[in-house]
Structure 1
Amino acid sequence: MKKIVMASANPVKAKAVLQGFQRMFTEETFEIQTLEVPSGVSDQPMTDEETLQGALNRSQRARELISNADYWVGIEGGVYEHENDLHAFAWVVVRSPDGIGKSRSGSFELPSVIRDLVHSGVELGKADDMVFQRYNSKQSNGAIGILTQDVIDRTALYEHAVILALVPFRNRELFGK
């Protein structure tokens, strides 16, 4: 059994990680351990670079805190500006003793009311809850689930990026891992 340490206690992230690993490595079994670690970036990362740094930091900190694992995963959600629109996305970083894999989720435009709240300093999850009258939506379907009526929820958005971050580990001979 392979051990994965997930640098978040968010059940959506843990589910996405476990499902991604299970889909990529059907011949393996996995156990996942979650723990809260700081991202080392803003509560609401506002650029692609800051969001990637948060995922890198989380995976590294998880590895420092729990060294006896096969993989350490950091997921950081963020936003970025494009032509006065605000888009949401996430970075996924997977570390192993012999390498690292990184991938970015798809992105989607946020409504202007949420954009304005985020610009005023409100974290995206809290802005979603305020606008859509939810509680803790970031630990359920998230903005993407709300906006697509769960055609794609937060788990599916992240799972896709987890799978892509595992490409180097699935193809070790091509990536020198």
Structure 2
Amino acid sequence: MAFPKRKNLQEIPPQGREKLIIVGSRNPVKIQCVEDAFQAAFEDQIIVQGMNVDSQVNRQPFGDVETYTGAYNRAAASKRAFPEADCWVGIEGGVDEVGDQMVAFAWVVILNGSTIIGKAKTGTFFLPDAIKVLVKKGIELGDADDMVFSKENTKQRGGAVGLLTKGIVNRSLYYKQAVLLALIPFLNKDLYQ
């Protein structure tokens, strides 16, 4: 079975030049998932760099609107701070309530030099009550994970999804699929003008 040829990220700048992708975070998990997704989707040489930017939302976003807004703000702030890059990516993790339970997820927003905006949401998964109680008290999900599992800085490693799946799905793999889905408009520019 022959796979279709991968696309070029942009027509301009010319092929042959490395494409610079800026991620609106210095979290190594977010940087790695963006690098993995862009390398899988495009034939261009890709360089991915992280940058600290403000999401302009709560430290622990709640609901789709706030979480999406945080991802968009990260991408837009990265674009303003480093306009010479080829693409800017924002990833924001959030939580929401479903009845009396809590789910976790993330939004991904990708901007490039055109008016096209790539956006996608990860799958959701339910959090255990021990974590939900801490998050409802105002503790960020990553910190709540560390407290419940007696770990340190899990948000820069496997995250809640890694802890709860016992490493089967780590945070980078979890985010990578959403980054690939957010790239759909850039892979099909004729349909997303």
Would you say 1:157 and 2:183 are equivalent positions? Answer: no
Question: Which residue, 59, 69, 73 being the options, matches 2:89?
Answer: 73
State the 4+ residue runs in structure 1 displaced beyond 3 angstroms: none
Unaligned runs of 5+ in 2: 1-17
Would you say 1:83 and 2:99 are equivalent positions? Answer: yes
- How far apart in 2 are the matches of 1:150 and 1:30? 27
Would you say 1:135 and 2:148 are equivalent positions? Answer: no
Q: Which amino acid aligns with 1:88?
A: A
- How far apart in 2 are the matches of 1:23 and 1:119? 38
- How far apart in 1 are the matches of 2:74 and 2:162? 24
Aligned to 2:119: 102
Q: 1:29 deviation in Å?
A: 1.1
Would you say 1:47 and 2:63 are equivalent positions? Answer: yes
Q: Which amino acid aligns with 1:114?
A: I
Would you say 1:115 and 2:132 are equivalent positions? Answer: yes
Give the length in aligned residue pairs. Answer: 175
Flag the structure with more relative contact order, 1 or 2, with Cα contacts below 8 A and sequence separation at least 6: 1
Give the alignment's TM-score, normalised by structure 1: 0.98
Match of 1:33, SS state, is strand
Q: 1:34 deviation in Å?
A: 1.0
- How far apart in 1 are the matches of 2:117 and 2:20? 16
The percentage of counterpart residues that share the same residue type is 46
Aligned to 1:92: 108
- How far apart in 1 are the matches of 2:121 and 2:19? 24
- How far apart in 2 are the matches of 1:153 and 1:123? 19
Would you say 1:15 and 2:63 are equivalent positions? Answer: no
Q: Which amino acid aligns with 1:124?
A: L
Q: 1:159 deviation in Å?
A: 0.2
More helix by share: 1
Would you say 1:57 and 2:73 are equivalent positions? Answer: yes
- How far apart in 2 are the matches of 1:100 and 1:46? 22
- How far apart in 2 are the matches of 1:157 and 1:49? 20
Question: Which residue, 143, 146, 170 being the options, matches 2:187?
Answer: 170
Match of 1:134, SS state, is coil
Q: Deviations over 1:30-84 (max 9, x none)?
A: 0012111010000000111100000010100000000001100000000000011
Give the alignment's TM-score, normalised by structure 2: 0.90
Question: Which residue, 114, 128, 146 being the options, matches 2:163?
Answer: 146
Question: Which residue, 44, 47, 69 being the options, matches 1:31?
Answer: 47
